[in-house]
Amino acid sequence: MGIRTIEIADSDCETETTTTSSPEITPEKRSAKRRRLRLETPAKRSRWTSASLAETPSRRDGIPEDQERRFRLALCDSTASLLKLLVSGSQLQRAQVYACHAVQLYFMSNSFRSCDFEATALAAASKALKDSGMALPEEELLAVLQKEQVVTEALGPSPLQRLRQETRKLELLVSCDRRSRYVDLISLAEDATDKLLLRLSHKQAITSAMVLQLREAARGFAVGAMQGLAPLMFRPETLGAVASALGARQVLKAEVLPDEIRTLILEDQKAATEEFALATREVLKALELKCRP
């Protein structure tokens, strides 16, 4: 795949670039001038469209849509398994969201045909720990994984250097993308659940056990949502509400999604309902794929 050239405003992204000054350009003009950065990364946008998702590097390499979805899911699962060796509890779920976000972005500019699967999973786990405030020096991370008999041969004869290189790639992709706030998806799902609980409390008795179950279920569906294409297509607030609604359906044994949750997405309820329905369909598609043999 060739290198793509994109334009990034000074305020958008901190990257390693070299700027030059000219006596013909005033400081004011120079500070406002857009920098050009050559990266293997897709152009910045708020969301990807269905058309762009049909033209990913993997799809252009002849990998069918269903197979690419399976690859994305498998890599997210591999990264999640690595993280389970390093962190636990609610911190694990937050780290998994970071990792899945990095994986999804990575394969919008890289093909699975040229993917070093294990190296990418290790790098995603390393980056997720950094982003969630639980950073381990790469030396310690490798030591822990080797102690747990996790295969790290994919990093080659210089595993430390290779891990740092792969992690840097992911850091550039995420730092230059507006969807970086998907790292807050766990909090968004919990917030939506709290609002839903407030509404439900006017209609039925809410036990402390039910509160814990609803919040835990919402966090679980938030992680599951990140394993498909939904984070590339929909706003974080929408996915947080979808995760909360799916969690409520599971805990409350409801046959349909609670209508109350739809009012938590957008002020424009017509747009909110449509986006909510599309996002729900996409999340369920990823979860169904995960359940297939």
Q: Rounded to whole angstroms, how far apart are CA atoms 257 and 254?
A: 7
Does residue 35 lie within any of the structural domains?
no
Helices (H), 33-150: 50-53, 57-60, 65-84, 89-106, 117-131, 138-147
Select, from the ranges 44-53, 153-162, 230-239, the one with the highest average predicted confidence (pLDDT): 230-239
- Of 154, 176, 198, the residue at which a domain comes to its end is 176
94 contacts: CB under 8 Å, gap ≥ 6:
132, 183, 186
Could you tell me the residue range of the domain that residue 77 belongs to? 50-176
Q: SS3 for 63?
A: coil
Contact of 229 with 274, CB cutoff 8 Å: no
Does residue 13 lie within any of the structural domains?
no
Average pLDDT score over the chain: 76
pLDDT of 28-74, one tens digit each? Answer: 444 443 333 223 334 444 578 888 889 999 999 999 999 999 999 99
Rounded to whole angstroms, the maximal C-alpha distance in the chain is: 72
Higher-scoring residue by pLDDT: 13, 94: 94
Residue 27 has pLDDT above 50, yes or no: no
- Of 140, 155, 176, the residue at which a domain comes to its end is 176
C-beta atoms surrounding 111 within 10 Å: 18
Q: Rounded to whole angstroms, how far apart are CA atoms 221 and 284?
A: 10
The torsion region of residue 17 among left (phi > 0), alpha (psi -120 to 50) and beta comes to beta
Q: So what's the pLDDT on residue 249?
A: 86
Higher-scoring residue by pLDDT: 205, 105: 105
Looking at the fold, whether 168 and 54 belong to one and the same domain comes out as yes
**Looking at residues 135-155, what average pLDDT do you find?**
75
Q: So what's the pLDDT on residue 73?
A: 94
Q: What percentage of the chain has pLDDT greater than the value 90?
A: 26
Q: So what's the pLDDT on residue 206?
A: 79
Higher-scoring residue by pLDDT: 41, 274: 274
Contact of 278 with 234, CB cutoff 8 Å: yes
Q: So what's the pLDDT on residue 46?
A: 54
Q: SS3 for 38?
A: strand
Looking at the fold, whether 63 and 171 belong to one and the same domain comes out as yes
pLDDT of 72-82, one tens digit each? Answer: 999 999 999 88
pLDDT of 73-108, one tens digit each? Answer: 999 999 998 899 888 877 899 899 989 988 998 898
Q: So what's the pLDDT on residue 58?
A: 95
Q: Rounded to whole angstroms, how far apart are CA atoms 33 and 27?
A: 10
Q: So what's the pLDDT on residue 259?
A: 60
Q: Say how many domains are in the chain.
A: 2
- Of 176, 210, 241, the residue at which a domain comes to its end is 176
- The CATH number linked to 251 is 1.10.472
The torsion region of residue 22 among left (phi > 0), alpha (psi -120 to 50) and beta comes to beta
- Environment class of residue 36 by beta-carbon count within 10 Å: exposed (0-12), middle (13-18) or buried (19+)? exposed
